[in-house]
Amino acid sequence: MEKEDQKRTIAKLIKELRYSEEDLENIRAYYTCPDRMDKNFQHPNCSADYYPWEDVTASMLYNTDSITYIDKTCRVCGDQLIKIKFKSPSWTWRQLCGRAGEMILCVECPCQIKFRLTIMN
């Protein structure tokens, strides 16, 4: 996936999740702050079975090279799915509950289709 496509994909997800600039600043701070353990920023689309959208969005913002299209479409909307390399925020790794792996997303819906855990501490 080209850099511009990666940026458009992130922008599309941010638009679908209705994040403001202030929300994005909070997400960036939350993802990189080593002492942050409270999750006072929760998006309503976040399911208990999946990772919080602020974690997913932050991971995409910090790992743009990992965003790729895959040859599958969403069952709900028909949009092409993407695969990212997800990594949970830094505080989760310090608390020995960090997770990383490949995540398949539909940016249009938005929804987290599948997560394959590859690293756990």
Q: What's residue 102's pLDDT? A: 93
Give the Cα separation of 4 and 48 in Å (integer): 32
Q: What's residue 26's pLDDT? A: 66
Q: Which tokens hold the place of 70?
A: 């895959």
| Residue in 97, 11, 90, 1 with CA at minimum distance from that of residue 57 | 11
pLDDT tens track for 24-68? 676 665 555 544 444 444 334 433 447 888 888 889 888 888 889
Give the Cα separation of 5 and 118 in Å (integer): 26
Q: What's residue 1's pLDDT? A: 60
pLDDT tens track for 70-103? 999 988 788 899 999 999 988 888 888 889 999 9
Q: What is the DSSP letter of 50?
A: S
